[in-house]
Chains A and B, each alone.
Chain A
Amino acid sequence: MKIKMNSKISSILKKSNSSSASMITIVLIVMCIGLNLINNAFLSKYNVSTLIRTASFTTIVAFGQTLVLLTGGIDLSVAGIAGVSGIISAWLMVNTGINPFLCILITIMAGFAAGCINGLIITKVKLVPFIVTLATGEIFGGLIYLITQGWPIQNIPASVTVLGRGMVGMIPVPVIIMLIIGIALMIVLKYFPFGRYIYALGGNENAARITGVKTDKIKIIVYGLSGLLSAIAGILITCRLGAAQPSVGSGWVMPSVH
């Protein structure tokens, strides 16, 4: 019996050996089962929904980072942009009379603009993405303390906190948002020129230029999208907590890369 099991497992392992993604999936499943054996609260409905909700914020940032990585660059400013977006959206909601949803939209656009600034510096001034985004990330992160003086902004309107806290059936709203973004990006990457150009650009920038791909424009938009997605994640965290914390998002850079 035991031997049969072993051979089955080893055959599964052999098959999955070709793809590291399926390997990771197997390890993940084994770990989940293991953890549940140690503490059977692990796979409870509450724990799982909290877990995937928390993961969805970083995943949204990682989507943007993935686009940037595909072009052969890196975006270290995601933490800064996410943090400052959470703060700005909260500040607008609390201190101006603007409709909270409009505040969110404005902040998302600002996130896109901030990302485009990265892209512009990288393509036009021709600086290395690592240096540029490291610097702008620090600037955006610094803005947080300029706005908040280190204090959290509280009393986020209840109409928007549902975006961070709500549930649709058994699934938390941020997870749904994450899934929609993920599917949309997948479609763009797979079926539209913009997506294919990103792969082309990452594969061979010279060849992309020669075949008429506007490489600078694509790069600027990609960094813009990374900024936009970071902003969404920052705003969702604010909605989840019901308050904008100055330290939110500061640890997102490395998780977004792997």
Chain B
Amino acid sequence: MENLALKMTNISKSFPGVKALKNVSFELKKGEIHALIGENGAGKSTLMNVLMGIYRPEVGEIYVDGKKCEIQSTVDAVALGIGMVPQELSLVPEATVAENIFIGNENKNKFGLINWKETSKNAKKFVNQIGVSIDVNAVVKDLSVAYQQLVQIARTLAAGAHILIFDEPTASLTGSEVDLLFKVMRQLKNEGKSIVFISHHLEELKIITDRITIMRDGEVAYTDDTENLEVDQIIKHMANREAKVSTKKVRKTSEDIILSVKNLSREKEFTDVSFDVHNGEIFGIGGLVGSKRTELINAIYGITKRSSGTMEFKGKLVDINSPQRAIDLGMGYLPEERRKDGIFPILSVAENLTITTYKKLNSILGINFKETKKITSDYIEKLNIRTPDKEALIKNLSGGNQQKVILSRWLALNVDLLILDEPTRGIDVNAKFEIYELIKSLAEKGLTVIIVSSEHEELLTLTDRIMVMHEGRVKGFLNSAEANQEDILMLALKNKGDYFED
């Protein structure tokens, strides 16, 4: 008990419709680097958010340094010496390193004004503590990403943290920067700090961590010392062991290629991506968070510009430089973040559904609203969209129904290729299955669908083939009918090996 910095016992937390954490227990020794890994949605982030006081668990107890505590908010967590180094940089880019380190925790003089001399002196102390040399008076935006990350660590230390949570800190770092980060982590460990390290790089875990806890479906699947675990074993524990025998039949798809992507790259995002999608195929793109799948399809659809590579669509070499161009060619795109990129909250269901058809239905007398109303009624009925009426504001609909409206938007335009990014994120189970059925029946009728999803089960049940990506590179292809979740993880996480087929 004495050498435990943190002990969480029997933590349970549910969200509407999901049990995110089921009886999770987690222990962190003093001076230990403890990896927390698992697939997307396994519960890592939820567990850490519980620790940070962002979520309140329904059941469970938390002990910090052997003392039981109630963490009701982030303020409590910080007071207990728990600090999070977030994955995304959360510094103020225009402020200096010293200012950032003490933001919200300023060194004040007796008049309540900020004591700048003290600020930079103390900032230096914390920067030295992590054993690197950073000019504390430098403006943060002039530092490299790696150094900005170190500033975040210094800030966490300045807030008095002795339990540090690193959320995928290496995701955006280069090789030598990772080495620097590891040096800092070892330094902190020697000072007796305890670190929770969340990462998808299994090779890294072998190098830096002492213990590994593997989560799966909101439960702890396995915990052991790092030296006892091999990469293969880790992957087995991450995947669902009782993998369902796939009852899926192999669907016959056309030999004709509708979209052919060759050596597509975009700087800092993805490199050398090549794949073909057949006519009428449901093509899945899988991988873990940070595999740059969304970035890839953004470039294909013309939202961002590619750095190099070519694309052929319907047998012709195309240069898609705007979504407008992609639509003209016959593509449609359902974005990942419905609220941010999908719906027009201030407009009605009818307008959200038919905005893509306005140009086609326009004449000198204006838009043919009779026709758009008819289209809307058609799709409300066909897709079973539950809405009070056509003119209701879309923001008042449930997530699943909003998603159906956005899908209909493209169906009404008769697109040939539909790109869906996380089509069932944040929608309830019923709507989810309705959307699955819809996608299947559309593909039967000859529509080609590309689906990006973090839910491997979704990809396996829905698609014909899956392309697995990891950190912006294609790691291989799988035939969904013959594959299981473990295969996807193996492909994503193992080094390039003999998994290339197709």
Q: Is the CB of B367 within 8 A of A192?
A: yes
* A contacts with B, residue count (CB < 8 A): 21
Q: Is the CB of B409 within 8 A of A211?
A: yes
Query: In angstroms, how far is the closest chain B Cβ from the Cβ of A117?
Result: 23
Q: Is the CB of A210 within 8 A of B344?
A: no
Interface of B, secondary structure class, is mixed
Q: Is the CB of A211 within 8 A of B303?
A: no
User: In the complex where A211-B355, A212-B327 touch, is A203 in contact with B346 (Cβ < 8 A)?
Assistant: yes
User: In the complex where A191-B369, A192-B366, A210-B323 touch, is A204 in contact with B333 (Cβ < 8 A)?
Assistant: no
User: In the complex where A193-B367, A204-B341, A209-B323 touch, is A199 in contact with B346 (Cβ < 8 A)?
Assistant: yes
Q: Is the CB of A204 within 8 A of B343?
A: yes
Query: In angstroms, how far is the closest chain B Cβ from the Cβ of A67?
Result: 15
Q: Is the CB of B346 within 8 A of A207?
A: no
Q: Is the CB of B344 within 8 A of A204?
A: yes
List the B side residues contacting A199 at CB < 8 Å.
Answer: 344, 346-347, 351
Query: In angstroms, how far is the closest chain A Cβ from the Cβ of B176?
Result: 34
The complex places the Cα of A208 from the Cα of B322 at a distance, in Å, of 12
Q: Is the CB of B341 within 8 A of A203?
A: no
Within 8 A of B (CB), among A192-210: 192-193, 196-197, 199-200, 202-204, 206-210
User: In the complex where A192-B367, A210-B333 touch, is A200 in contact with B323 (Cβ < 8 A)?
Assistant: no
The complex places the Cα of A77 from the Cα of B138 at a distance, in Å, of 38
Out of A192, A193, A202, name the residue touching B346 (CB < 8 Å): A202
**Stretch from B5-13, B21-29, B356-364, B428-436 contacting the other chain:** B356-364
The complex places the Cα of A213 from the Cα of B355 at a distance, in Å, of 9
Query: In angstroms, how far is the closest chain A Cβ from the Cβ of B324?
Result: 5
User: In the complex where A191-B369, A200-B344 touch, is A210 in contact with B362 (Cβ < 8 A)?
Assistant: no
Within 8 A of A (CB), among B173-196: none
Q: Does B315 contact A (CB under 8 A)?
A: no
List the B side residues contacting A197 at CB < 8 Å.
Answer: 355, 358
The complex places the Cα of A208 from the Cα of B323 at a distance, in Å, of 10
List the B side residues contacting A209 at CB < 8 Å.
Answer: 303, 323
Query: In angstroms, how far is the closest chain A Cβ from the Cβ of B139?
Result: 22
Query: In angstroms, how far is the closest chain A Cβ from the Cβ of B215?
Result: 33
List the A side residues contacting B367 at CB < 8 Å.
Answer: 191-193, 196
List the B side residues contacting A52 at CB < 8 Å.
Answer: none
List the A side residues contacting B324 at CB < 8 Å.
Answer: 212-214
Which residue of A is nearest B372, CB measured?
A196
Q: Does B345 contact A (CB under 8 A)?
A: yes
Q: Does A187 contact B (CB under 8 A)?
A: yes
The complex places the Cα of A191 from the Cα of B372 at a distance, in Å, of 12
User: In the complex where A203-B346, A204-B345 touch, is A210 in contact with B366 (Cβ < 8 A)?
Assistant: no
List the B side residues contacting A190 at CB < 8 Å.
Answer: 366
Q: Is the CB of B333 within 8 A of A200?
A: no
The complex places the Cα of A210 from the Cα of B327 at a distance, in Å, of 9
Query: In angstroms, how far is the closest chain A Cβ from the Cβ of B149?
Result: 28
Q: Is the CB of A206 within 8 A of B344?
A: no
The complex places the Cα of A196 from the Cα of B347 at a distance, in Å, of 9
Query: In angstroms, how far is the closest chain A Cβ from the Cβ of B138?
Result: 27
List the B side residues contacting A203 at CB < 8 Å.
Answer: 344-347
Q: Does B445 contact A (CB under 8 A)?
A: no
Q: Does B340 contact A (CB under 8 A)?
A: yes
* B contacts with A, residue count (CB < 8 A): 28
The complex places the Cα of A200 from the Cα of B343 at a distance, in Å, of 9
User: In the complex where A200-B344, A203-B344, A210-B303 touch, is A193 in contact with B362 (Cβ < 8 A)?
Assistant: yes
Query: In angstroms, how far is the closest chain A Cβ from the Cβ of B141?
Result: 18
Q: Is the CB of A208 within 8 A of B344?
A: yes
Determine which residue in A190, A197, A203 has the highest number of CB atoms from chain B within 10 A of its CB, and name it. Answer: A203
List the A side residues contacting B343 at CB < 8 Å.
Answer: 204, 207
Query: In angstroms, how far is the closest chain B Cβ from the Cβ of A221?
Result: 15
Query: In angstroms, how far is the closest chain A Cβ from the Cβ of B340?
Result: 6
Out of B323, B340, B346, B362, name the residue touching A212 (CB < 8 Å): B323
Which residue of B is nearest A212, CB measured?
B327
The complex places the Cα of A209 from the Cα of B326 at a distance, in Å, of 11
Task: Mark A45-65 against chain B: 1 for CB-CB distance below 8 A, else 0.
Answer: 000000000000000000000
The complex places the Cα of A226 from the Cα of B209 at a distance, in Å, of 62
Q: Does B423 contact A (CB under 8 A)?
A: no
Query: In angstroms, how far is the closest chain A Cβ from the Cβ of B392?
Result: 15
Task: Mark A99-142 against chain B: 1 for CB-CB distance below 8 A, else 0.
Answer: 00000000000000000000000000000000000000000000
Q: Does B335 contact A (CB under 8 A)?
A: yes
Which residue of B is nearest A208, CB measured?
B344
List the A side residues contacting B290 at CB < 8 Å.
Answer: none
Q: Is the CB of B358 within 8 A of A196?
A: yes
The complex places the Cα of A249 from the Cα of B245 at a distance, in Å, of 76
Which residue of A is nearest B346, CB measured?
A203
Within 8 A of A (CB), among B319-334: 322-324, 327-328, 333
Q: Is the CB of B344 within 8 A of A192?
A: no
List the B side residues contacting A192 at CB < 8 Å.
Answer: 362, 366-367
Which residue of A is nearest B358, CB measured?
A193
The complex places the Cα of A204 from the Cα of B341 at a distance, in Å, of 7
List the B side residues contacting A210 at CB < 8 Å.
Answer: 301, 303, 323, 333, 335, 341-342
Which residue of A is nearest B364, CB measured?
A192
The complex places the Cα of A192 from the Cα of B365 at a distance, in Å, of 8
Out of A187, A200, A206, name the residue touching B355 (CB < 8 Å): A200
Given contacts A196-B351, A210-B341, 9 further A-B contacts (CB under 8 A): A191-B366, A193-B362, A193-B367, A200-B355, A202-B346, A204-B342, A204-B344, A207-B344, A214-B324
10 contacts between A and B (CB under 8 A): A199-B347, A199-B351, A203-B346, A203-B347, A207-B335, A210-B323, A211-B323, A211-B356, A212-B328, A212-B359
B residues near A (Cβ < 8 Å) are 301, 303, 322-324, 327-328, 333, 335, 340-347, 351, 355-356, 358-359, 362, 365-367, 369, 409
A residues near B (Cβ < 8 Å) are 187, 190-193, 196-197, 199-200, 202-204, 206-214
The 9 closest A-B pairs by CB, nearest first: A191-B366, A193-B358, A203-B344, A212-B327, A203-B346, A206-B341, A212-B324, A192-B366, A204-B344
